[in-house]
Structure 1
C-alpha cells in the first residue's frame, strides 16, 4: 500500500484515478477547496485548503507521501510551489500536463513523446510547457522525482465533448431538437476522445514506477474519428436525427469569438494520432477500452438522470447561431 496525495481529486480525470487507487488498496489524501463532492469507492482523508497557501502546502508535504499527483497545476508559479514544497518529501511527483503542449501546427499527424513542445496560440498550453520545464529542470538539478503525464481530449460522465459547442448539455439539446450544429474546418480532421476511466488505468499504473521518474508519457485513446463522425455519434447517443453539420474555418471562428477559436488553433483543429508505445512499456495492459459511442452514451445518461444537469447555455447558443449564419452567408445559402 502506498500513501498517495491528490492535489485536486474531484475533477474530470482525477475522480476516476482516486477511485482506482482506493480499489487497489492505497491510502488516499485529497487537497482541494472542497467545492465538489463525489461518492468515492472507499475512505479518503480530505484536506480542505487553497493550494496557493504556500505555508500550508509545505506543512502537508512534510507528512511525506509515496506519490503526489497534481491535477490542478496550471501555471509555472504553481509548479515552482510544488517543487519547493515537495522536494525531499515525495517518492514520485505526477505532473498532469496536456498533449496541447506538443508543437502546433504539428509537423506530422503521428505523434510520440519526442515531438517538440511549442504552442504559439494558446496560453493554457504555453503555461503547461513552462510548468513542465520547471519540473524537468528540478529533476536535472536535484533529482526531483517527477513523472509528466499528457492526457488527450478526455471526458467522463459529466461531459459531452465537442470542439466548438462546449462540453455540457447545450450540444446535446441542439442535436435532439434537430438544430444545426457547428464544426470547424471541413469536419474531416482526425481526433480521439479518451474516457477518463481508461486514462486512469494508465496514470495509476505509473504510480511507484522508478523507471517513470524523469520521463513524460501521453496516455490516449486509439479510436480515431473525424469531427463529423464525433457529432453524428453524439446525435445517435442522444436519440436525435441525423445532424445538419455546418462547417466554418477555425480562423473565422477565432476572429469572431477568440474564446471559442483559441482552443481550435491551439489544439483541436489539427489531425492527431498518438503513439502509446511508451506507456505500454511500463503499463503493458493499458488500453483505452471504452469506445466513444459507449462513453458518450454514459455521459448523456448521467445528464438525463437529473434535470439540473441539463442546463442550456443561451449565450453559447447565440454564438453558435451567429457563426452558423456567417458560414451560410459565405456559402451563399
Structure 2
C-alpha cells in the first residue's frame, strides 16, 4: 500500500512515517528541503503549496494520502476534488481548535466555533480554527466519503515544546540566554491536554486503510488534564536539574500575544480543554499513551542536548524584554532588519529609524 504524506516533516509526520514503514507500507513524503536518507522512505522534494508540483504528485495515484498542510480555505476548495480522486483514503489533519469552549469533556460532536461564535469580525477571517472547520465542511459536502478527519490537540516532542501560545523560541530561548521567561496569568490556570506527537501518530497509523474510519472525524489526544502553570513548573524543574539554575519568571496580567495572534489566545488558550476519546478507542489504546509529565520532562532533556532553535520572533522578543525590563544584545540579533524590528518595539520607531540611518551612513563611509 502506497501512502503519501503531504508536509509530513513535523512533530507528527516524522514519527508517523516510521510507524507506517514498520507496518509494511511504502511511504512517500513531500518536503521543501532535501532530507537525509531514512531507509524505506522516499522524499519528493518540492513545495506542496506550488500547484505545479502538487498536481504532478497527485498524478501518481495513492492508496492513502495524509495531509498535514495548512491551506487558505479557497485554495483547499480548489484542490480537494483532485485529492479525493487521487486516493482511496484521504486523511485530513484538522485541529481540536475547531471546537467551542465546553464545560464537559469534548467529544467529536461538541459544537464548533464556526457555528457558535457571534464574533462577526472573527468570522470574517480565515483564522486557523475557522479555516480547518470550513475545510471539514468542504469534505462533508463533497459527495464522497473516502476521507477521514483527525483533530489533534496540542502535540509536543523534542523539537516542539509549547507554553500557552508560546513556542520554545519565545520562552526557552530566553531562559537559556539568561533572560526572564514572560508568561501570563490569563492563560496559566487554564486546563489543557498535551499529547506526545508519537502517540498521535500511532492513532493516525491505526486508521490507515480502515473502512470504518471513512467519512468520520476523530480526535486523538491525551485524556490527562494539566494546567499551563503545571507545564511551566515542569519546565522550570527540568531546567534547574539540568543547568543548576532556575530561570526567573515574569507573570503579566494579559498575554502579550494578544497583540500578535489574538484569536489563538481568545478562542483556544482561554478555553479549558478536556477530551473524551471513546470514538477513537476501537483503533488505538489511549491508556498506553505516554504520561504527560514524564514525556515533557524527557523531551526537554533531549532538546537541551541539541538546543536547535527555529527563527526567533524579534518583535515578541522585544515585547518580552519590555515586560521584564531586560535587553537583548544587538549582536545576538542576526540581521539589520531584525535589529530594527526589535528596536522599534523595544523603544520606539523613531529610535529604530535613527539607528538604521546611522548604520547605513557608517556602511557608506566604510
Please report the TM-score for the alignment, with normalisation by the length of structure 2: 0.76
Partner of 1:23: 22
2:357 maps to which residue? none
Matches within 5 A, 1:90-239: 90-103=87-100, 106-119=101-114, 120=119, 121=122, 123-138=127-142, 141=143, 143-168=144-169, 170-171=171-172, 173-174=174-175, 177=178, 179=180, 181-185=182-186, 187-239=188-240
Shift of 1:31: 2.0
Following the alignment from structure 1 to structure 2, what is the Cα–Cα distance between the partners of residues 48 and 175?
Answer: 34
The secondary structure found in structure 2 opposite 1:147 is strand
* Larger RCO (CA within 8 A; separation ≥ 6): 1
In structure 1, how many angstroms separate the alpha carbons of the residues matched to 2:193 and 2:16? 20
CA distance in 2, matches of 1:254, 1:310: 18
Question: How big is the shift at 1:38?
Answer: 5.8
Instruction: Check the 8 A contact 1:12/1:156 in 2, yes or no.
Output: yes
Query: Which runs of 5 or more residues in structure 2 are unaligned?
Result: 326-366
Other-structure match for 2:260: 258
Structure 1 residues 180 and 307 mapped into 2: Cα distance closer, same or farther (>3 Å)?
A: closer
The aligned residue for residue 296 of structure 2 is: 296
Distance 1:294 1:175 in 2: 22
**Contact 1:185 / 1:269 at 8 angstroms: preserved in 2?**
yes
The 1:208–1:61 alpha-carbon spacing in structure 2 relative to 1, beyond 3 Å, is same
TM-score computed with the length of structure 1 as normaliser: 0.83
CA drift of 1:49 comes to 2.2
Equivalent residue of 2:281, what SS? helix
CA displacement 1:174-225 (0-9 Å, x = unmatched): 2895835312416222112111011111111110011111110011011211
Q: Answer yes or no: is 1:286 the counterpart of 2:291.
A: no
Cα distance between partner residues in 2 of 1:39 and 1:286: 31
Correspondence for 1:46 among 33, 40, 43: 43
Q: Tell me the alpha carbon deviations over residues 36-63 of structure 1, each in whole angstroms, 9 at most, x when there is no partner.
A: x3664x3212211232343543332232
Cα contact 1:237–1:297 (8 A) shared by 2:
yes
For residues 85-109 of structure 1, what are the alpha-carbon distances to aligned partners after superposition, in whole Å with 9 as ceiling and x for unaligned?
2333311000000011112xx1424
1:246 equivalent in structure 2: 251
Structure 1 position 11, deviation (Å): 1.2
Structure 1 residue 227, shift from structure 2 partner = 1.3
Query: For residues 141-167 of structure 1, what are the alpha-carbon distances to aligned partners after superposition, in whole Å with 9 as ceiling and x for unaligned?
Result: 2x2411000000111110111114323
Task: Give the length in aligned residue pairs.
Answer: 312
Aligned to 1:271: 272
| Contact in 2 for aligned 1:228/1:245 (Cα 8 Å) | no
Task: Assess if the C-alpha contact under 8 Å between 1:21 and 1:28 holds in 2.
Answer: yes
